[in-house]
Structure 1
């Protein structure tokens, strides 16, 4: 941190610090959404409209932020979301972020498109989950699941909202492609490990995923996956209560309410507006996590009050990684825990369970 710049006191400060350090095209790759980016903006606007009604005469000197996520103890109701190609942000990449998550006592979700092999990330981390994209070659899907099991990952997170990658105009305008030093380390060579080729007016990342990912997956594929592994199975990208209900009927252990941070369907609703309906649909039969737009401890409180068991935090972790590697990620997670503790105190909650009983209004 330059001597004339004060230390970060919130996630927005960390984001500004990262923006000063990153090449513009890399910053755009992380910060951008799909289409006109209205879904991404809606995430922030909708969260800001959720007002939490505090309780009185029910506070605590030291609220307990600890909880269980998918049956594993966590220091707070937060997991690090799966995010691709973290070597773009820092040379130590996913391993640095996983070490910071381990030190903070929260789960770290390893992406299929991580730039470090999943085994190395799992070894660096504490509680790790593996996020799965469905590849065209089902044998490779099986291979990834088995590798995750053998590496000690505690859950499998199937992303279901990327049949194709949303058209991200910042990347298209930049002709964005990964540098040769950044690869999808879990995919190796072959059709699903082809190199990224820079071309004007084309996102090489989107072109790559179009070759690698299977678009036409359905509930029968989920049944096959459920039979393949005994790991807890979570669906990421659920917005419709009907899909949440069917997911529970299909034997999943959790759903993640998410519009992919505004990076897929640009007209999708803000994730937080979908959260109450999904919570009602599952009726306590599986875990419900929330993703897309978490920027503060107050945002975590909002999600808890709307019925989520916990949240996933994405871009802020990458801003921290870009700013100061493992220490930067630790700073972001520490800020979130400090803010959550204060939010619990101010809302009259002694623990996470009390926060889930708070009332909310939209204003």
Structure 2
């Protein structure tokens, strides 16, 4: 028997009206109350949409949900656009599918809320893109939610994030980027140029991409010189993934006064902010300080000089996710596909100034 809204209210110790407000998102609800309601929804397996409950035994719909952190970010725009183009290719016979893009702003609770709505709409597939929030409670809740969706026969694709602990046999695929290897190769390139005072603007802590890219960076430094990661520790700054975050991080590095000859950024957007702050401080790129990014967004070719970066195959990943969702490609053994990352050397990196120890 389908779980009712009243049962969720009783479980959470609130009124049915409060449950409705939390599910619809139209009214402010206190954080602790919202958490209790969302937990009750999760525990009871409540499907919010009334018509969807009546269709609980039916096949999933032609709607496919695509969760992104920020659709205004080129990284997610390219990925979602490629997915949508490959979802129902022009000229191909068969039913077309509707891709619905859900913006989460990287928030774990919003991610779960969107999945609840998609489950209520009997979505015929779900694609989650971008870094995963590495918090054990959220990981378990997310795995349970996705397992429930996949159990209806709706394929689930994790794109650009690590696999989740879901039961074997469910239609769940993981498309991973080689963030660790890409960061390793970028750091090797900087080391080969002669850089030893390497600043690093990492992404926010607690994200899978931040962890993987920072680990690859540190591994390359350690292989060159086991003491190098420690000597560069004071040159690592965690920041957001926006241009303004890169600008503020570079200003912070300059304020600290520790010498550096290159800045490797968490992504290309951050790198543009870093470059702006360095130029504002009167520094030339790459004559005084080299700058590198990650992802190889279109903006990399338009910066002056063009940005050295690591190419992440976003278009290929979007197309592959669409093939998994539609069943045009079978899931790989183990359900995991890792796409390679390619080092793109351009004009923003060069050997350090002759007097490397001098302050930028």
TM-score by length of 1: 0.29
Q: Bigger relative contact order, structure 1 or 2, given CA contacts below 8 A and separation 6+?
A: 1
**The structure with more radius of gyration:** 2
Task: Provide TM-score, normalisation by structure 2.
Answer: 0.29
